A and B are shown apart, each in its own frame.
Chain A
Amino acid sequence: MSILVNKHTRVLVQGITGHEGLFHTQQMLAYNTNVVGGVTPGKGGEWVLDGKVPVFDSMKLAVEATGANTSVIFVPARFATDAMFEAADVGIPLVVCITEGIPVQDMLLVTNYLKLKNVRLIGPNCPGLLTPGESKVGIIPGNIALHGNIGVVSRSGTLTYEVLYAMKEVGLGASTCIGIGGDPVIGTNFIDVLEMFEADPRTDKVVMIGEIGGTDEERAAEFIASSMTKPVVSFIAGQTAPQGKRMGHAGAIIERGSGSAAEKVRALQSAGVRVASHPEEIPDLLV
C-alpha cells in the first residue's frame, strides 16, 4: 500500500514534448510508471519515445482516449496555470505540478477553484511523488529509494533525496515520498499528507522535512499532537537563514516576524516530534 500513487496510477504528462517533459517521461517509463499519454497543443497525433507514448492536443482528448486518472505538469510557468485548470475541468482527480515560478495570485485562484472541484493538487514547484517499486510521478530519482514502511513528506527537492538516500544506506525504505513544493501557496500541505500517512496501513513512521517560511510546520505540529499515533521525525532547514530574504524557494522567507526555523523546531518538539540537527541524522532517529 501507499498513498496517492501506486501501480494502478495512469499518468498523463502535460508538456510532454518539452525538454523537461520528455526527459522525465522517459525516466518515469524506466521506473515502470504507467504513463498512458501526453498533451502538447498542436502536436496531437504524434508519438514520442520510440512510438511508445501518444501525444494529444488537449486534456479532454487525452482523457477520453486513455482513461488517465493523474496528470503531471511540466509546462513553463506562464502556461502552467492554464494547464492546472484544464486538468481540473476534465475531471482528473490528482494533479502534480512540477513547474517553478508560477505567480502567487494565479495559485490563489487555482487552489480555490480546484478545491471546489475536489481535485487534489500536489505542488507547484515540487519534485512530485514516488511510491518505490510501483510508481513515480514527477522527478524524484527512482534509484535512490527503497520500498519500505516510512512515509516521507517534504517542501524540498534534493534535501529529500538526501534523506531517502541516507535511509537507503541503512536499509530503510519509503512507503510513499511526497514533495509538496517550495512555493508559498501550494495545493497540499503537511497536514493533508500526515492525515493520509496516519490512515495508510503500510506506513509505520513518518519523516517530515520542513523549512523556513509560513506556519505550515507549526500547524502540522498541532495536528501531530492531537491526531497522530504514528511517530514523526523531522528536520527543518534554514536555521541560519537571514530575515526577509527568499532562500531559493519562493516560499522560504522569514517575514512579518514569523516563519523562523527556531519557532518550527520548538512547535514540533513540544508535539513530541524528534527533530534532527542535520539531515544525515534522520535514519538514526527512525531506528
Chain B
Amino acid sequence: MKLQEYQSKHIFARYGILIPRGRVAATGIEAKNIAEELGGRVVIKSQVLVGGRGKAGGIRLAKSPREAEEVATSVLRMQIKGLPVRKVLVDEAANIEKELYLGITYDRSAHKPVMMASSAGGVDIEEIAHQSPEKIARTYIDPLLGLRDYQARDIAVTIDLPRPFWRSFIETAHGLWRVYSESDATLAEINPLVITTDSRLMALDGKIVLDDNALFRQPDLAEMRDQDSEASAEREALKFGLSYIKLEGKIGCMVNGAGLAMATMDIIHLYGGEPANFLDIGGGAGADKVAAAFRIILSDPNVNSVLINIFGGITRCDEVARGILAAMDDVKTEIPMVVRLVGTNAEEGLRLLSEANMITEETLAEAAQKAVAVAQGASS
C-alpha cells in the first residue's frame, strides 16, 4: 500500500525530519487561504499515487495567494495517468541549493534493509541506478542492530556531503530508519532531500510504501488507503479471499494457486491468445467461492471465453467439479468455459462436467489451445 506525499511527509515530521510548512487543500479557496498563511510563494502539488506528476503538469509554482487559487483550481480538475486529483498539497516554496536522494528499502537476497543515498537527487533513483550506479552509496542495515551512526556518516562521506551537514544528515537518516521500521514500510524515500540556501536539510518530497501483510498492526496507517489507486474488481476479489488482477486480453482464467495461475496465463499466450486476468482461487474450491470468481471474471466486458484450470490434490477433482456446476447454476452465462482438471479423481470430475455439456480437456496444453480457439471464434 502506497501513501500519498502529504501523508509520507507528515510521518517524516513525526520522526524529526524537517519538511516544508504546508497543508492539503481540496478546493482553490482552501489553497488560497493556505498560501496566505504561508506568506505568498507556494508550490501546488497534486496528490495522486503515480510517478511523473511534475511532467504531467501536476506540480506548479504560484507566486501569490490569488495565483495559488487559480493553479490549485486547475490542478484539481486534472486526471493524471487516469487518476483524478482530489487533493493538492500547498507547500511553502523552498530555496534550493542542492538536491540529494535518501531512501531505505530491503534486499531480498541479502535479507537486510539497505539504505541508499545519492548526490544526484530529484530525479528517478532507478534512472540514476541504471545510468550512473557509482553515484549511489549503499549500506546494509543489520535488522537485529538497526542503523548505526557510523553507517550514516559513511554514506555522507561517500556522497561528498559537506561536513557542516553531517550532523543533520545523520539525524535525518535515523529518522528515516525509524519511519521505515516502525511503519512496517517496504520503502521509505526522501527525494529530493534538499540543502536550502539557508543551510538546512529538508525533505521536499517523500514516498512510503507499506507492507500489506503488516497492516493488521498498523491500524492508523491502514486507514490512509487511497481507494482510487486500486481497481474495484481487485478489491471485491479480496473480500472473497481471491487474488485477482485484471489484464488486457479476452480469455478469463480461474486457477488454484498463484504459480499455476501465472503458468496458465503464460500458456494461453504461448498458443496465441491473451489472458484477461490473473485469478488465484486459493485452496478448496467450494461453490460460493467459484461463483464469486466467475462473477469477478465476467465483470470484465472483454472476456469472451474462460479457462478453468484446477489441480486437485487434497481437494478432490470431483468435489471441485460439483462446485463448478453449482456455481454455474448461480451465475448464468453464455460465455463458453473450457475446464481442465488434473490430480486426484480427475476422471470423475471431468465426467461430471462433460455430462453438463461443458468443454473439458485433459491436458493444460489442449485446454489452452481450446480456450484460444473458442475466444477467436467468438470475436470473429
A-B contact count (CB 8 A): 175
- B216 to A158, Cβ gap below 8 A? no
Chain A, residues 150-167, CB within 8 Å of chain B (1/0): the string is: 000011111111100100
Q: Is there an interface contact between A160 and B247, defined as CB atoms closer than 8 Å?
A: no
Other-chain contact of B144, A77, A103, A113 (Cβ < 8 Å): A113
CA distance A91 to B270 in the complex (A): 48
| Contact in complex: B365, A280 (CB < 8 Å) | yes
Pick the interface stretch among A5-13, A170-178, A248-256.
A248-256
- Nearest to A160 among chain B residues (CB) is B259
Indicate if B256 sits at the interface (CB-CB under 8 A). yes
Residues on the A chain within 8 Å of B247, using CB? 240, 242
The B-contacting residues of A in range 202-236, CB under 8 angstroms, are 209, 211-216, 219, 235
Within 8 Å of chain B (Cβ to Cβ): is A108?
yes
Q: Are A241 and B262 in contact (CB under 8 A)?
A: yes
> Is B343 among interface residues, defined by CB-CB distance under 8 A?
yes
Instruction: Give the interface SS of chain B, mostly helix, strand, loop or mixed.
Output: mixed
Could you tell me if B211 and A105 are in contact, using CB atoms closer than 8 angstroms?
A: yes
Would you call A247 and B211 a contact (CB within 8 A)? no
Measured CB to CB, the closest approach of chain B to A18, in angstroms, equals 14
Contact (Cβ within 8 A) B258 A182:
yes
The answer to whether A104 and B245 touch across the interface, beta carbons within 8 angstroms, is no
Q: Is B314 a contact partner of A139 (Cβ separation < 8 A)?
A: yes
> What's the nearest-Cβ distance from chain B to residue A179, in Å?
10
Across the interface, do A185 and B111 meet the contact criterion of CB distance under 8 Å?
Answer: yes
Taking a contact as CB atoms under 8 Å apart, the answer to whether B260 and A238 are in contact is no
Complex: A78 Cα to B113 Cα, angstroms: 21
Q: Which residues of A contact B214 (CB under 8 A)?
A: 103-106
Q: A104-B106, A143-B344 are in contact. Are A162 and B113 (CB under 8 A)?
A: no
Do residues A78 and B342 form an inter-chain contact, with CB atoms below 8 A? Answer: no
Instruction: Return the contact of A209 from the options B259, B261, B364 (Cβ within 8 A).
Output: B259
Asked whether B243 lies within 8 Å of A248 as measured between CB atoms, the reply is yes
- Additional A-B contact list (11), CB under 8 Å, known A155-B259, A241-B278: A144-B313, A156-B259, A158-B259, A158-B311, A161-B313, A162-B263, A162-B311, A240-B269, A247-B261, A248-B257, A256-B129
A interface residues (Cβ-Cβ under 8 A, vs B): 27, 77-78, 101-109, 111-113, 115, 139-141, 143-144, 154-162, 165, 182, 184-185, 189, 209, 211-216, 219, 235, 237-242, 245, 247-252, 256-257, 261, 277-280
